[in-house]
Chains A and B, each alone.
Chain A
């Protein structure tokens, strides 16, 4: 179990290291999704280092907290954090997207720590709901966390799941919405507007916490608050910046699904040093 609680400063440094790994991984792979991996890096680093209960050496420990990355294209972030927490060696990261690698272009269960495949958007909240109901059936106290993208919540499946999580009063479930405001074709507001987002989730029976997704203290406070909420699921709507941490990627739609060139990676790593 990961009991070591890091300080805000330590978490910030850890997140920076995770961002470095993401850049290094993507430049080696030559393709992949930096924008959303970087925007959610603070949220997921804090979750793995200070919140989730798990045993990297025993990935199927029955009482582990569950995490599922519904926006599967941001798996470089997931892989970096799984390597940082000891699920597999960091050397593996250089095999991302290569033939035969456990680190597939979108999550596959062959990677230790990956509970379910994802990649077709909109299904992950349902997966999390299933995990939440399994805990109920088995009378276990593990909690379930799921990372959603903002473009992803345009999928109808998300709202079927949102309605059901509210209906089943899944208070062991916490969704994290990486609201970076960008999707492949442009700004979410222009492509398919999401607002009023908080009101939508509230209307579906959720407890909503809105934070700055790059403020480590706000992130930790949100996770702590979520654990106190009874009889309803919680969603943390985290305002983030796509490409966060690399100046020339920040807010740039084009870096949704384009790996950095060698030159860009060099500049990015300098900024993250």
Chain B
């Protein structure tokens, strides 16, 4: 059984490490520090942590103000609020200014579970992806969350890092994390499965099941949505028969759209989307919701089988 980690725990620990290394790091939260785990940083560095209460718009623009004075600012709240509630502040004060504001949004996607639709961000990647200057990382597991946080701190400009709520099994043999570079988890020539976040584990299970049936699926962990690894996507389009893109997000505007846009312009192949289709989420346990919304490994396997000739 693989190690299971909360991405949020890893995030909080990474912040503490960063805070010790760099006095310029400041962290903001909006009354969710115990959930996002920025509380770990707050405990270590109380002078560089500010709790803004339930006021995400103010927090986001204040992050921009801090960044204008040379701070590297990590801002955390749930993904629905970071991307939706404060979108105009992200647009004008963060993204347009091209400031060093690192938005680390937790509790993204359907796997938020029992809290239900209002708290399940299924459109946040779309909202962030249309903003110039914005970098987007969706780490696939615990250790990759630390890589993402370090990359966000080390590279200039705004970042949106999308984390989930539940524990995620740590993926083995991913190789080194490089911003903007997809990781090939399994090689294959028959089909390419592209996934991000919690869906990488589902996709890996699907790839293993397909292998049992003699289908060699290439699996790409596309952890960085911006800047996108166009080369890896086009290589997959050219070398495998079709693409299946899996995300815990609306099929509109997220990872699948990113892939669609690149292949449509350069090397059109069939792209099958495994994602949320024109629905809001609902309460339930994460594993049940993945099944209900057709995001499970079985659904990915079915998507491949029904389109392979």
Contact = CB atoms under 8 A, between A and B. Distances in A.
B68 A116 contact: yes
A167 B26 CA distance: 18
A57 interface: no
A84 interface: no
B187 interface: no
A115 interface: yes
Contact of B97 (A117, A132, A133, A134): A117
A115 B99 CA distance: 11
B55 A130 contact: no
Interface in A120-143: 120, 122-124, 126-135, 137-138
A157 interface: yes
Nearest to A127: B65
A138 to B, nearest CB: 7
B72 to A, nearest CB: 11
Contact of A126 (B53, B65, B91): B65
Chain B: interface residue count, which band? 20 to 34
B294 interface: no
Interface stretch (A48-56, A158-166, A189-197): A158-166
A126 B97 contact: no
Contacts of A131: 65-66, 68-69
Nearest to A126: B61
B58 A160 contact: yes
Interface in B18-43: 26
Contact of B65 (A108, A129, A156): A129
Interface in B58-112: 58-71, 73, 88-89, 91-93, 96-98
B58 A129 contact: yes
A156 B73 CA distance: 23
Contacts of A115: 68
A123 B93 contact: yes
Contact of A137 (B26, B52, B68): B26
Main secondary structure of the interface of A (DSSP, over half): helix
Given A116-B97, A119-B92, A134 B65 contact: yes
B69 A134 contact: yes
A175 B272 CA distance: 54
A168 B68 CA distance: 19
A163 B55 contact: yes
B57 A127 contact: no
A133 B88 CA distance: 22
B47 interface: yes
A62 interface: yes
B296 to A, nearest CB: 40
Contacts of B280: none
Contacts of A167: 53
Nearest to B91: A120
A92 interface: no
B61 A117 contact: no
B69 A135 contact: yes
Contacts of B93: 116-117, 123, 126-127
Contacts of A200: none
A123 B98 CA distance: 16
Contacts of A161: 58, 61-62
A126 B50 contact: no
Contacts of B65: 68, 116, 126-134
A130 B61 contact: yes
A123 B70 CA distance: 19
A220 B63 CA distance: 31
A66 B131 CA distance: 27
A109 interface: yes
Nearest to A168: B50
B48 interface: yes
Nearest to A115: B68
Contacts of A163: 53, 55
8 contacts: A66-B69, A108-B96, A126-B61, A126-B89, A134-B71, A137-B71, A157-B58, A164-B53
